[in-house]
Structure formats: C-alpha cells, structure tokens
Amino acid sequence: MTTRTATAAATTTMAVAALTAAAFLSGCGVQSIPQGENAVAAAWSEVENQYQRRADLVPNLVETVKGYAAHERETLEAVVQARANATSIQLTANDLTPEKLEKFEAAQGQLRSALGRLLAVAESYPQLKASENFRDLQAQLEGTENRIAIARRRYIEAVQSFNDLVTVPPTSWTNSMFYKKQPKAQFKATTPDAATAPKVKF
C-alpha cells in the first residue's frame, strides 16, 4: 500500500468514525436534551406573555365597568387585587419547580375567576354591555384566554418531550452522565376547565 493510499484510507476511516460518533451522540441526547430545554424555555416565555397580555387588559376593563357600575365596588376591588397577586409572581424557566408553578397557577386562577365574576356583573347593566369600549375589551379578553390555552398546551407538550428525554433510556443515561437535568414541572388544573377559554357573551 502506498503512502498516498494509506493516508486516504486513514482519512476515510476517521470520517466514518466521526459520522458514527456524531450519530451516536445525537441519538443519545447530547444535542436533544439542550434543545428540549430550550423548547421548554420558549414555551414558558409564551405562557408568561399571554398571561401578561391578560393582566394588561384589567385596568381598562375595571375603569370601563366603574363608569357604569361604580357601586360594584367589591367586585372591582377583587379584580384589582387578583391582578396584583398574579403579576407579583414572576418565574423564569429555571424557577419552574412544582411548588412555584402551583403558586403561579393558583394566582392566575384567582384572576381568571375574578374576571369571570366581573363579566357576570356586567350582564346586569345594558348600557355597559352596549358600550363599544367594553365590547372591544371583552373581545380582547376572549382572544387572550384562547391564546393562554394554546400557550399552556404547547408548554405541556414541550415539558412532556423534555421529561421523556431526561427520564427514558437511552437519552436519560446521557443526562445522568453529563447534564443531570431534573424533569420540568407541569401544569395542574386548579379550577375546573382551567385550560379552556371562557365563553364571553355579547
């Protein structure tokens, strides 16, 4: 075998070995585990964005209702307080322990319930229901609740995929050797049909 032939053979062998190693590492989660964690972080960011969108609607909604039903003070104050509680809990993707996520979801559930009671009160005020501003806010709220439901579902799917990577062989072996990542926390419904957008009647 000539030197040139030997060099070519060695190069080919190294290339095949490199490709084999890359395929092995990819299949064992070296790439997929970080990618899965990134997907969870992105999905959680979208959940936060949609909940913040809802919180941003509250001040205008409260002021609009107050203009027609100022004496519904208890209901209005409950919404304001629920919003304050919900926005006071800020979580990053790295903070998603079951305990913290449960607290976050409970606060969001309280805001959702308070808004539901506010909309129920509005049914008793025809002029309020006829207000263009109120109707626009209702439409935005309904659309936001739909976006929240979609964002939650995508987060659940991302977490399920990531948790499979870190708990199911062979990728879990890679995780235990290199990354040592723990499964991510999942949503638990704190109220019946919490993941379903409420129906807003006009």
Task: Please state the rounded mean pLDDT for residues 177-193.
Answer: 80
pTM above 0.95, yes or no: no
Q: Which domain holds residue 102?
A: 29-179
Task: Say if residue 201's pLDDT is above 90.
Answer: no
Residue 46 within a domain: yes
Establish if 73 belongs to a structural domain: yes
Residues 15 and 183: their CA atoms lie apart, in Å, by 36
Q: Does residue 82 belong to any structural domain of this protein? A: yes
Cβ contact 101:190 at 8 Å = no
Q: Which two tokens stand for residue 122?
A: 């509005």
How many domains is the chain built from? 1
Q: 30-61: b or e for each residue (b if 16 or more CB lie within 10 Å)?
A: bebbeebbebbbebbebbbebbebbbebbeeb
Read off the pLDDT of each residue in 163-192 and give the average, rounded to a whole number: 87
Assess if residue 7 is contained within a domain.
no
Average pLDDT over residues 108-125: 95
CA 125 → CA 67, 129, 140, distances in Å? 11, 6, 20
pLDDT over 80 at 6, yes or no: no
Domain-located, residue 47:
yes
pLDDT of residue 143: 97
In a domain, 13, yes or no: no
161, 36 Cβ separation under 8 angstroms: yes
For the cut 90, the answer to whether the pLDDT of residue 21 exceeds it is: no
* Per-residue DSSP letter, 189: -
Model pLDDT for residues 149-161, shown as the tens digit of each residue: 999 999 999 999 9
Whole-angstrom Cα distance, residue 141 to residue 200? 8
Would you say residue 194 has pLDDT above 60?
Answer: no
Mean pLDDT, residues 118-144 taken together:
95
Considering the domain boundaries, does residue 19 fall inside one?
A: no
CATH number of the domain residue 53 falls in: 1.20.1440.20
Q: Domain for residue 93, yes or no?
A: yes
pLDDT of residue 29: 77
Lowest mean pLDDT among 25-29, 119-123, 131-135: 25-29
Return the exposure string of 85-118: e unless at least 16 CB atoms fall within 10 Å of the residue's CB, then b. bbbebebebeebeeeebeebbebbbbbbbbbeeb
